[in-house]
């Protein structure tokens, strides 16, 4: 039994490589974004209620602020 490789099959294999690396890159970027979110959430969660009040957020807004880093929870300004 022998296996024959045609140029058509080899072209299909190389054409799917960028798609796979693009999917891996998207996955890696999502993991990095999640790690940033977790770190910010942990850092804000470790602050006292007084410290949170000093920066203008309440403990109940920590998850919102971590998830929406580009906006102000009070709607006063945006960091864009």
pLDDT tens digits along 12-56: 555 567 777 888 999 999 999 999 999 999 999 999 999 999 988
pLDDT value of residue 51: 94
Q: Is the pLDDT of residue 74 over 70?
A: no
Q: Are the C-beta atoms of 73 and 65 separated by less than 8 Å?
A: yes
Q: Are the C-beta atoms of 42 and 21 separated by less than 8 Å?
A: no
Answering whether pTM is above 0.85, one says: no
Report CA 25 to chain centroid distance, whole Å.
12
pLDDT band at 73 (very low <50, low <70, confident <90, very high): low
Q: What is the C-alpha separation between 64 and 56, in angstroms, rounded?
A: 13
Q: Which residues of 15-31 are buried (b: 16+ CB within 10 A; e: fewer)?
A: eeeeeeeeeeeeeeeee
Greater model confidence, 2 or 35: 35
């Amino acid at each position: 039994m022998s296996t024959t490789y045609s140029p058509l099959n080899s072209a299909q294999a190389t054409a799917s490589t960028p798609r796979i690396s693009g999917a891996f890159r998207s996955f890696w970027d999502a993991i990095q974004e999640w790690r940033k979110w977790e770190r910010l959430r942990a850092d804000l969660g470790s602050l006292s209620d007084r410290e949170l009040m000093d920066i203008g957020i309440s403990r109940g807004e920590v998850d919102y602020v971590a998830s929406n880093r580009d906006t102000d929870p009070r709607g006063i300004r945006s960091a864009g």
